[in-house]
Structure 1
Amino acid sequence: MRIDIEDLHVAYGGRTVVAGAHLLAAEGEITGLVGPNGSGKSTLLRTVYRHLRPITGRVLLSGTDLRELTPVQTARHVAPLPQERGGDFELTVREVVAMGRTPYKRAFTGEDATGRDTIARALIEVGMDGRANRRFTELSGGERQRVLLARAFAQNPDVLVLDEPTNHLDVRHQVELLALLRARRRTTLVSLHDLNAAASVCDRLHVLHGGTVVASGPPRQVLTPALLAEVFGVRAAVVDHPLTGDPLIAFDHRAPADGVVGEDLAAAAEA
């Protein structure tokens, strides 16, 4: 399945955060959202998994407006991993992952063989099968992140919507997670702060700035020094990665791009 977003306007906290966004997440591709803090990435994703309702515009799932689907129908097609991780689950790791099977269960029924196999496979995929009986509250931030990703996998969705899925993960688990997403080849819409990770794993990028999509296309086409200076306020060169050939962004950490001063950086940090 594919996601099409058409002329999306979303207000949050009394202000318009997304203003006229158009974008595509093609079937089987990993589509990345990148942009500075406060650019509207999380708000847009919350609208895709129906946590927020748009003022105007549509989110289409293979041509069907998501508003025409019931919550259960949506949950069978779209699985989110939001930034709000939740740390108060008084459940075991396995019980948290089993929550992903809720859209497929009838009231007052237990797990079937398919559900048990799906849960077990999801735990193995994220490397948490050895901690299935641990309490979720006892886990580190990175371990919780992997458990919640397993919950999304257990939902067996057509579309994954992931908001900063590599947060709290060490380098090894970041690499493993992104490799796992590529191996699954599900339609994936993901926001990433790490532009080099986005350049490596994503088939298509959409750059958000001020609530609008200002650039779209393959990473090599989108991530240019001019765009990095204009949108992110940084000086950078884009070269070929020596191991993979993907675009590699080399940032100048000594100074921001011309015209970006301390006040601008402080405002961005507060956004």
Structure 2
Amino acid sequence: MNTVAPHLANVLSRSPNFHLDQVTTLGGRCRGRLIHCTFEAHTVDIPPLDEVVLLAANQYRLKRALFDFGWGFRDHFSSHPHPLHLFPAGNAYRWLKDGFADVTLLALSATDLAALLDELGHRNPNDGLWELSQRGFANPMIYQALTQFMQQASADSPQILVDSYCTVIANELARQWNTRAPAGPAVRKLPSAQLARLIDHIKEQLAQDLSLDDLAAQTGLTKYHFMRCFKASTGRSPLQYVTELRVAQARRLLETTALTMEVVARQSGFSNAEHLARVFGKATGLSPRAYRTALGGVRAPRRH
């Protein structure tokens, strides 16, 4: 009888040593979970998982970080302010920490991560992941991306947000073990006609749950190369560009219609009113309701 491997969040939630502050389920191209938690000194046993786990230390107050992958405890401690630790899928392991820590954990489907690494052109991902698991390591770009991902992700995150962060983190992990396939074309700006068609496509599909796969397919580039070329062309990442267009669309609807917040959200590409409020507030400093109120109610549509 087949049994489903547990998720890391389930395992940690059953341990009295862990305080899980936030668990965000990720869907779409890269399935998994983002976990923010704290713990004191402890030992924990992790059964075989179908997830590759990346641990980023936001704060460490310990002198040892011992991990046992089946051949006894070995010290993986790193003195870097924000060390990273990696745990491959399919293998039981234990860790022992001798002090307090505040950490962010990214647990991604091993199958999804392998497919993404293959698409990005990285060889022997299983060997590379095992290589990284042998010691704590530092990578400020991964740490920054994971921290931002934790801050921005939610259960209703659009596909393009999850795709973008997972792509950057996966690519940087592969660079860390330095087994990249032959280099692709140099970063360049997208041809002006192609960029114009792409932007038209984004605007036409703005209310849909756009994915990085969909946008990259419009150019014939891999996701990672597309992200770099798009930023070279516009000065913004695809995620930033789409988010700015969605906020602008929401502002127009708040200014010129009496639509409910749920309808404004859907017509602007946000999954619901809560998602709209979160992103709109960060971009403008006002909630959508406060923005509409500040205008003195709904304006009459402009005549051209």
Q: Normalized against structure 1, the TM-score is what? A: 0.31
The higher radius of gyration belongs to: 2
Structure (1/2) with the larger helix percentage: 2
Structure (1/2) with the larger strand percentage: 1
